[in-house]
Structure 1
Amino acid sequence: MNNFNVVMKKEFVQIVREFKIIWLPLAFIFLGITQPVVSYYLPSILKALGGAQGITIDSSMAAQQGGEVLASTLASQFDQLGVMIIAISMMGVIQTDKVNGMLAFILTRPVTVFSYISGKISSNYIFVACSAALGYVISYLYVNLLFSNVIFVDMVIALLFYLLWVLFMVSFTTMISTVFNSQGVIALISIVFLLGCRIVVGLNPIIDLINPASMSKNAMEVLISGAVDAKEMWNVIVALISIVLTILITNFWISNKKFNNE
């Protein structure tokens, strides 16, 4: 446990040094604000700019419910730019230690591979989850101000679902950062795979069951319908299994490979 704490403290120091503590929360705050503000003012902007051009304004845009707008924040902002931001912020989480020889040095100390990995994932997840939650809460406040109120309990349940999807993104990117040595390749593979997972959500019930990105879909359904389906618990179990699998692969890769200044 002491080794785990040391790794976590080291990672938090690195987060501060790389200024992630500033730009990552600001990025999610911006994403959280964008959707409700654009949804509220877009009809007026289009009407003002294109009123004489024959543009038809869909009256339903102005009549959106708060839950729908907050759900669209997850779908249109967090699950697009947000995924890219998380992948980019995490791409060097282990790759940097491999390149500068720190990983090889750390593993010569009385530090287990699992303590190292769990410390890395836990510290980064806490930070990324707090950043995403901050942007989500800001969006929730704007939605309540500009649209109808969203039930607080629904907002919290949806956030918990979404944070499980965030945990998978963090653990998957950590795994890719372990396997590959180029940050560009790590970011590309992570972004393509995670966005691909999100894109195929809803195409097939079987795919949805084994797809961790279904957590985002479940969060949206809670916000829109205000109900939690029993089948969503199976999605949670499968998502947790997927997260454990990525951690085991990361642990196996580090345990069975020599990391030098290659």
Structure 2
Amino acid sequence: MNSFTVLARKECIQLIHELKIIWLPLVFIFLGMTQPVMSYYLPTILEALGGGQGITIDPSFAQQSGGEVLASTLGSQFDQLGIMIIVISIMGIIQSDKASGMLAFIMTRPVPVHSYIIGKIISNYVFIACSIGLGYIVSYFYVLYLFTNVNFGHAVLALFSYLLWVLFIISFTAMMSTILNSQAAIALISIIFLLACRMLVGLNPIIDLVNPAAMSKAAMELLITGTVGIKVAISIIVTIILIGLTIFITNYWISSKKYSRE
């Protein structure tokens, strides 16, 4: 059994001990069902509360397509509150090991630095991706029931596109967790930066090419229009490069701090 497998198993055990394996999927399931339910019933609720006076409801709001509603699940739920929840859940991914002395202990073993980092990121990514996937599936079935049909192939491709953005979120937070010593600072800086990336999407085509959050936009476009721009291939490559860069910085920082074996 190699060091990567051992470290990945350690992370899985920690997920169980911290009960993340229970509450994180439940949170994303709740977020997934919230958008289609609110989109469907909000006009009725507003009309009932307003008594028909002073409230004008856009008819097109109640006639949203299934793809638009599913896309809004990604954009309005997963890309806002979802980002905050992901960051908060993993802000101590490496910082906690530094604070407890576990990182220094692990690095005195025959464990390559990159195996430690990859084990951390991949194990947390698989778990978070599964949690998001559960929430997305719940949202998909609610959309099918309450709205129009959504092409299954497009829904699957959109999810994979979005999960590439999620991988960047995790790798960036891991980098911040390595560089900073305060979990509050890790969470604050990561959330501000990642939400800023999401807010910049669509403002400029050039920025979108180097913005990993453009993968979320591509997922939403695929759900709404059924097509994506040719530039999405460039965004995929750039996002993968940026993920690799964050992992490289994390590896360099741990090595330069003499945590690794002499």
TM-score relative to the length of structure 1: 0.98
Identity of matched residues, %: 68
Matches within 5 A, 1:139-154: 139-154=139-154
Give CA deviations for 1:135-175 in whole Å, capped at 9, x if unaligned.
01110010010000100000001001000000000000000
Give CA deviations for 1:179-234 in whole Å, capped at 9, x if unaligned.
00110000001100000000000011111000000000000000001013221011
Give CA deviations for 1:58-77 in whole Å, capped at 9, x if unaligned.
11111100000000011100
Say whether 1:245 aligns with 2:245.
yes
Say whether 1:50 aligns with 2:50.
yes
Q: Distance in 2 between matches of 1:144 and 1:173?
A: 34
For 1:96, give the aligned amino acid. S
Tell me the equivalent position of 1:186.
Answer: 186
Say whether 1:171 aligns with 2:171.
yes
Q: Distance in 1 between matches of 2:119 and 2:25?
A: 21
Matches within 5 A, 1:25-64: 25-64=25-64
Residue 7 of structure 1, CA deviation? 0.4
Tell me the equivalent position of 2:226.
Answer: 226
Tell me the equivalent position of 1:83.
Answer: 83
Tell me the equivalent position of 1:216.
Answer: 216
Q: Distance in 1 between matches of 2:174 and 2:131?
A: 18
Q: How many residues align?
A: 260
For 1:203, give the aligned amino acid. L
Say whether 1:115 aligns with 2:115.
yes
SS where residue 117 of structure 1 aligns? Answer: helix
Residue 54 of structure 1, CA deviation? 1.8
Residue 53 of structure 1, CA deviation? 2.7
Q: Distance in 1 between matches of 2:146 and 2:80?
A: 23
Residue 91 of structure 1, CA deviation? 0.2
Tell me the equivalent position of 1:124.
Answer: 124
For 1:236, give the aligned amino acid. I
Q: Distance in 1 between matches of 2:141 and 2:233?
A: 28
Q: Distance in 2 between matches of 1:246 and 1:136?
A: 27
Tell me the equivalent position of 1:14.
Answer: 14
SS where residue 79 of structure 2 aligns? Answer: helix
For 1:186, give the aligned amino acid. I
Q: Distance in 2 between matches of 1:196 and 1:96?
A: 26
Regions of 4+ moved over 3 Å: none
Residue 252 of structure 1, CA deviation? 0.2
Residue 92 of structure 1, CA deviation? 0.4
Gaps of at least 5 residues in structure 2 are none
Give CA deviations for 1:85-108 in whole Å, capped at 9, x if unaligned.
000001000000000000000000
Q: Distance in 1 between matches of 2:10 and 2:52?
A: 60
Give CA deviations for 1:30-58 in whole Å, capped at 9, x if unaligned.
10000000000000001111024321111
For 1:7, give the aligned amino acid. L
TM-score relative to the length of structure 2: 0.98
Q: Distance in 2 between matches of 1:53 and 1:211?
A: 44
Q: Distance in 1 between matches of 2:154 and 2:94?
A: 36
Q: Distance in 1 between matches of 2:159 and 2:51?
A: 39
